[in-house]
Amino acid sequence: MTLKQQASGGAEVNERLAALVNNANAVRAIAAAVESTLGPKGLDTMLVDRFGEVIITNDGVTILTEMEANHPAARMLINIAKAQQEEVGDGTTTATVMAGAMVGTGVELVSRGVPVARVIEGLRAGLKKGLELMQEKARPLAGLDDPAVPRVALVAGRGREDIADLVVRAARLIGEEKLKEPAFKFVETITAREGAENQVFSGVIITKERLNRQMPRELENVPVLVIDDALEPEEIEDEALSTESGFARYMELQNQFRENVRKIIALGAGLVLVDRGVSDLAEEMLTDAGVMVVQRVRARELRKAAEHTGARMLKRTGLKKDLEQLKAYLGHARRVFNDEKLEQVWICEGAGKPMATVVVGASTREVVGERERIARDAAAAVQAALRGGIVPGGGALEVAVAREVEKLRAGMRGMAAYGVDCVVEALKRPLAQIVTNAGFNALEKIGDVIAAQVESNNDALAVDCDTGEICDMYQAGVVDPLPVKTCAFKAAGEVAEAILRIDTIIKKKEEKGEGKDAEGKI
């Protein structure tokens, strides 16, 4: 073969791999943006927008969602991270780092002549085996009093003991049964405010103030009415008002509405929460009666308040019911007060389902956001651990699984065995990055951990990031929720396969009129 033919053949290979390499570079760039935040020695990232607003964080999903990324492959990885956050609330950095390793190894294999189909075949086999092994190695928690619960909160809370303590106290107030409900999200009980004091209380917070300052600021033993509607008279069209019958109907509706407000007062409701607006007439009558009214309450907060107080949500047409029927819609709370400094209404110790709220305080606006993110990660981790059990952290689990997955190669025929390497390298990547961020040599420490795990038959061994010594992660209190690990591993595999399957990038044609002015000019 002549040099010219060799060069031509090389050019064809490079052109064939151009899309894959381009996408892989984008994925690795995204992974590089967050990998320095991994582990107890991870560093922070500063995000700055064009107006000079600053976010300082080492929260992976915040970095990924706030960074500017226009490459399609990069957006795919960011969307996977968002899905990870939505499902389990933590582990986005691990998922991103593992995806970058899988894609990087896959590209190297393809460039060496391994067909993409064979790489994907091996990758799928490695993923399946890895997920099975992770499930087998998990330990269940013995309820919320298990000593591992505070450790889970502390690890996910990046070592912030005050926040971990708040989250654990809140979890115990809510109870195991509620935390295991699929629809309940513990993270939604977290709120952070500048100037607030750290605290946990049995109740919910409404992020609105009372309707006016003449209404009571604080109430004890309060009947609560929740109106999932506007507290206003039913409307009538302007055209109808111009007729005699229309005006008569208008006056009838006004009188009926006045009677409905009198019913609210007769019920003895001390707090009225309203989904939408409140009319001036209702505001005046309820103020005179000493009722606290909060309007335009967010739907999520309205539902939480109803659930916690035991109130049944009512439409405004439901106010036509008689008093005895309406009493069944009332909930109760031991105490309600309007915090004017924080501009919130606190509903404490409701008579309905247990509910806890975690208030995380901070000294400045910049710190508030980060402390809230830390608390939400800790809450998500505690809930995930309660549902799925725990595994050793610090990269120990992934290395132990990598050792077992690597054995698949011996039983696989053909080039599919190479695809298993994508999974093995990805599983080693979290430990490699954790020790790198701690200032140690990754290759050396991974070798030490593998040798120690094999020698002692202990899958919980990893590296103490303070000393560099090998230690048992369970004994050190470094534990992670299983669902976070499995979700991150699965998500990384999904995005890696999707990227590796892309052979060609084609720009879509513009839709008719897109990017043109009224005359059809570009």
DSSP, residue by residue, 430-448: HHHHHHHHTTS-HHHHHHH
Residue 165 resides in a domain: no
Residues 354 and 225 in one domain: yes
Higher pLDDT, 110 or 252: 110
Residues 349 and 252 in one domain: yes
Residues 487-506: tens digit of each pLDDT? 999 989 998 998 888 877 66
* Domain stops at, among 362, 382, 406: 362
Domain count, the chain: 2
pLDDT at residue 239, as a whole number:
64
Cα–Cα distance measured from residue 475 to residue 338, given in angstroms and rounded to the nearest whole number: 46
Residue 186 resides in a domain: no
Cα–Cα distance measured from residue 80 to residue 288, given in angstroms and rounded to the nearest whole number: 54
Residues 288-306: tens digit of each pLDDT? 999 999 999 999 899 999 9
pLDDT at residue 355, as a whole number:
87
DSSP, residue by residue, 465-510: TTT--EEEHHHHT-EEEHHHHHHHHHHHHHHHHHHHT-----PPPP
Residue 299 resides in a domain: yes
Q: pTM of the entire structure?
A: 0.79
Residue 302 resides in a domain: yes
Question: pLDDT above 90 covers what percent of the chain?
Answer: 57
Residue 518 has pLDDT above 80, yes or no: no
* Domain stops at, among 362, 377, 405: 362
Question: What's the mean pLDDT when you consider all of the chain?
Answer: 87
Mean pLDDT computed over 498-521? 65
Higher pLDDT, 80 or 278: 278
pLDDT at residue 315, as a whole number:
92
* Domain stops at, among 325, 346, 362: 362
Residues 237 and 293 in one domain: yes
Contact 138, 392 (CB under 8 A): no
Q: Is 321 helix (H, G, I), strand (E, B) or coil?
A: coil
| CATH number of the domain where residue 334 is located | 3.50.7.10
Report CA-CA distances (Å) from 65 to 69, 87, 296, 449, 508. Answer: 9, 16, 29, 34, 25
Residues 211 and 96 in one domain: no
Host domain of residue 423: 9-139+390-500
Residues 319 and 435 in one domain: no
Residues 409-444: tens digit of each pLDDT? 888 888 999 999 999 999 999 999 999 999 999 999
Lowest mean pLDDT among 103-107, 339-343, 398-402, 469-473: 339-343
Residues 208 and 313 in one domain: yes
Residue 33 resides in a domain: yes
Mean pLDDT computed over 226-248? 76
Lowest mean pLDDT among 27-36, 184-193, 505-514: 505-514
Mean pLDDT computed over 72-100? 81
Residues 225 and 346 in one domain: yes
Residue 80 resides in a domain: yes
Residues 376-404: tens digit of each pLDDT? 999 999 999 999 999 999 999 999 999 99
Residue 98 resides in a domain: yes
Hey, CA dihedral for 156, 158, 159, 163, is it positive or negative? Answer: negative
Residues 116 and 215 in one domain: no
| CATH number of the domain where residue 82 is located | 1.10.560.10
Cα–Cα distance measured from residue 324 to residue 317, given in angstroms and rounded to the nearest whole number: 16
Residues 281 and 344 in one domain: yes
Mean pLDDT computed over 76-86? 78
Residue 371 resides in a domain: no
Residues 252 and 318 in one domain: yes
Residue 128 has pLDDT above 60, yes or no: yes
Higher pLDDT, 30 or 84: 30
Helix (H) or strand (E) holding 77: helix 72-88
Residues 130 and 242 in one domain: no
Residues 315 and 268 in one domain: yes
